[in-house]
């Protein structure tokens, strides 16, 4: 994450991934957002592999 990036607690964050396989990428992204203070994190995938 950039040093000057901000996460607003009241914003809904949606992580989009084209294919869900193990979920590792989505989990890693959600973890970074969560540690930065995001409260509402959602996931959208287009296919399951």
Q: Look at residue 1 in the predicted model and tell me its pLDDT.
A: 54
pLDDT tens digit string along 4-49?
778 899 999 999 999 999 999 999 999 999 999 999 999 999 998 8
Q: Look at residue 5 in the predicted model and tell me its pLDDT.
A: 74
DSSP 8-state class, residue 22: S
Q: Look at residue 4 in the predicted model and tell me its pLDDT.
A: 75
Phi then psi for residue 11, to 5 deg, are -90, 140
Residue that has been written with the tokens 């084209």 in this structure: 18
Instruction: Please give the model's pTM, rounded to 2 decimal places.
Output: 0.80
Domain-wise residue ranges, the chain: 12-48
Q: What are the structure tokens assigned to 38, written together?
A: 């995001």
In sequence order, the 6+-apart residues with CB closer than 8 A to the CB of 29 are 15
């Amino acid at each position: 994450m950039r040093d000057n990036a901000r996460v607003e607690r009241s914003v809904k964050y949606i992580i989009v991934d084209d294919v869900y396989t193990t979920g590792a990428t989505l989990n890693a992204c959600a973890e970074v957002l969560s540690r930065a203070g995001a409260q509402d994190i959602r996931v959208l995938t287009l296919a399951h592999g």
